[in-house]
Amino acid sequence: MRKRELKNMEWGLLIVAIILSIIGLIALFSATQETQYSEFTKQIIWIIVSLVIMIGVMFIDYETLVKMSPVLYGIFIILLIAVLFTKPINGASSWFDIGAFSLQPGEFAKIFVILFLAYTISKIQSRGKEEINKPLKLLLIFTILAVPVLLIIKEPDYGTAAAFISAFVVIIFTSGIDKKYIISAIILIAIAVPLVYNFILPDHAKKRIDIFLNPESDPRGAGYNIIQSKLAIGAGGLTGMGLLKGNQTQLGFLYPKTTDFIYSVIGEEMGFIVAATIIILYVYFITKILYIAKTAKDDLGSIIASGIAGIFLFHVLENIGMVMGLVPITGVPLPFISYGGSSMITSFIMIGILLNISGKRQKTIFVQ
């Protein structure tokens, strides 16, 4: 890799990711004292492994990854089918148990679905920008998304499925889809939402939506987690109650406090200042990704960066929103902060890809 490419890379992304990871480690240290810090220790290992993998990905041309994407997409479709036959954990068949660790193929599939979508769209647009607006071409693109999404819904893991859809929406918008399709999609969604709620969603999914609208209707049951989460965040005040001193965190009222509700731990023990700083860091982070999409050297890089922006945007809005009671709980991790090896590795792989895309562009006409 040439010096010019290293200089062009948006290193701010990596710096923000490391800062967020450190904040996450501090929160995990406080949240895992009753388990002898087992998750805290594992998270350190995952961060180190993720950084090593990220460096490797950073030096692979993203065009090479795109060329490999059809095969990688196929492999992960097989894994998404295979995981359905594993023993359910918390009601979902989403993980392969590998010794002391678990592998969640749905997390890694995000990367390869984005790459394969970019591959397909670039092939379609090579015959003309307007080719993407042909119904059969759109159907092909939609099918590429629909297969993994339906498999993930089958697990069931609605949060991860929604992340795929979020990435798809940003990608298809970036690719220049005709406005008539966007308007039609909005109308269809408006019609489909009540139908899906009344006739398709399983009872537990309906209950999550009902509890989101009125958590006090079942304060000791389905509404318990969100009520405790809001109490924790509210109790933190400006500077927090202090590490190892949060009532909801340390007395076990938050669950699962190392993954879904880690932001509640931060709000309670570190306070509004740190919690707000995290949001500011995420805004900077996602803005930088969108800038990479805008300044990429080709449409291929722009599509990939747009899809990655959609993934991170969804995870941040959903996780922080759900712990505050602003959106229904779906169980998605907060990037770089929540405990989890699959999520951490996936997030850093995406950073590696983004660094490679940003390195390939020409920042200035004077660069040789």
Domain residue limits, the chain = 3-213+299-311+333-360
Q: What is the Cα–Cα distance from 150 to 204, expressed in whole angstroms?
A: 18
**Per-residue pLDDT reduced to its tens digit, 250-281:** 988 888 899 999 999 999 999 999 999 999 99
| Cβ atoms of 102 and 96 closer than 8 Å | yes
Instruction: Provide the 8-state DSSP code for 102.
Output: E
Average pLDDT rounded to a whole number, residues 23-38: 91
- Joined together, the tokens standing for residue 6 give 């290293």
The stretches of the chain forming alpha helices (DSSP H) are 3-8, 11-31, 38-58, 62-82, 105-125, 135-154, 158-174, 179-199, 203-213, 224-236, 247-250, 262-269, 271-295, 299-323, 341-360
* pLDDT (0 to 100) of residue 258: 92
**Per-residue pLDDT reduced to its tens digit, 55-88:** 999 999 999 999 999 999 999 999 999 999 988 8
What's the mean pLDDT when you consider all of the chain? 90
169 or 366: which carries more pLDDT confidence?
169
| Cβ atoms of 354 and 305 closer than 8 Å | yes
**Per-residue pLDDT reduced to its tens digit, 194-217:** 887 777 777 777 777 877 778 877
- Give Cβ neighbours of residue 251 (< 8 Å, ≥ 6 apart): none
| Cβ atoms of 108 and 346 closer than 8 Å | yes
| Cβ atoms of 215 and 208 closer than 8 Å | no
pLDDT band at 344 (very low <50, low <70, confident <90, very high): very high
**Per-residue pLDDT reduced to its tens digit, 115-173:** 999 999 999 988 887 888 889 999 999 999 999 999 999 998 989 999 999 999 999 98
Q: Helix, strand, or coil here: 101?
A: strand
pLDDT band at 368 (very low <50, low <70, confident <90, very high): very low
